[in-house]
Amino acid sequence: MYVDRFYRDESGSNDLASFRVAVRETDLYIGVLPGVYSKELEQQVETLVWQLRRELEEYIKQDPVFKTTLVPHLLQPGAPPVALMMTRAANQCGVGPMAAVAGAYAETVGRELLKVSPEVIVENGGDIFLASRKKRLVGVFAGTSPFSGKLALELETSKNPLGICTSSGTVGPSFSFGRADAAIIVAENTALADAAASAAGNAVTTVDDIPKGIEAVNGIRGVYGVLIIKDDKMGAWGDIKLAPVKKKKG
């Protein structure tokens, strides 16, 4: 799943204090208001990520199917909140719960940071939790498509916070049944956006499948918009506003 990390430069986030938290496979890039940032806050986020990972890993020991299934799943009693968030999102979208893991981590960390900063960006491997009082641009990376690196999503503040996630069948290590260069979802939370991006991407093998990808998610409650890119074609539905990416001088 990729909204390429060049979005850090295009998002208008230079007004934020940025830091990175990496815990095993989880690699978070985080932006908060400068007056909020501290080494202590950074440590608190790292502790939270370790806790989320530990809780999920312990749950998977008692429910190993949770980790491997590619279809909706019934949780066992005692599941931690992060597993519940993943499962709710995935079941809405008809995919397995691990399709929402990166989004669920970003959502949980973002919600915690909102307690201390009204401006928050949390990116986890291209899956983004965004809470902002100003317009932000999120750059779009779509592999070898001619649209790649030339477009950005323009995100307003009327619906806040948001989840913005991408699934690709041609770029990166994430599993997809499809071959979309990018299936991008804007949704009411990041776990849902993550799962819906997987569902949309799974439906697209050729450019003719772009409408199928849109149809796979446009009836899901909480999904605000979808953008699908395949080769030199794209299709969009819902609350999607595109802007050109301005090349930097020099």
- pLDDT level of residue 123 (50, 70, 90 thresholds): very high
Over 80: is that where the pLDDT of 108 sits? yes
- The per-residue pLDDT for 4 is 38
pTM over 0.85: yes
Helix pair angle (101-113, 190-202), 10° resolution: 160
- The per-residue pLDDT for 248 is 59
Helix pair angle (39-62, 81-93), 10° resolution: 70
pLDDT digits (tens, 9 = 90+) for 57-106: 999 999 999 999 999 999 999 999 999 999 999 999 999 999 999 999 99
**What residues contact residue 158 under an 8 Å CB cut-off, 6+ apart?**
none
Which of the 8 DSSP states describes residue 74?
P
Over 90: is that where the pLDDT of 157 sits? no
Mean pLDDT of 103-119: 98
Over 80: is that where the pLDDT of 176 sits? no
Indicate the CATH number for domain 7-244: 3.10.520.10
pLDDT digits (tens, 9 = 90+) for 31-56: 999 999 999 999 999 999 999 999 99
Q: Residues 104, 125: contact at Cβ < 8 Å?
A: no
φ/ψ (deg, to 5) at 128 = -125, 130
Mean pLDDT of 129-158: 88
> For residue 88, what is the enclosing H or E element?
helix 81-93
- The per-residue pLDDT for 209 is 97
Mean pLDDT of 225-236: 96
Question: Could you give the dihedral angle defined by the CA atoms of residues 220, 221, 223 and 228, in that order, rounded to the nearest 10 degrees?
Answer: 10
Over 50: is that where the pLDDT of 250 sits? no
Q: What are the boundaries of each domain within the chain?
A: 7-244
* Cα–Cα distance, 193 to 103 (Å, whole number): 7
- The per-residue pLDDT for 146 is 80
Q: What is the secondary structure of 206-250 as a DSSP string?
A: SGGGHHHHHHTTTTSTTEEEEEEEETTEEEEEES--EEEPPPPP-
Over 50: is that where the pLDDT of 3 sits? no
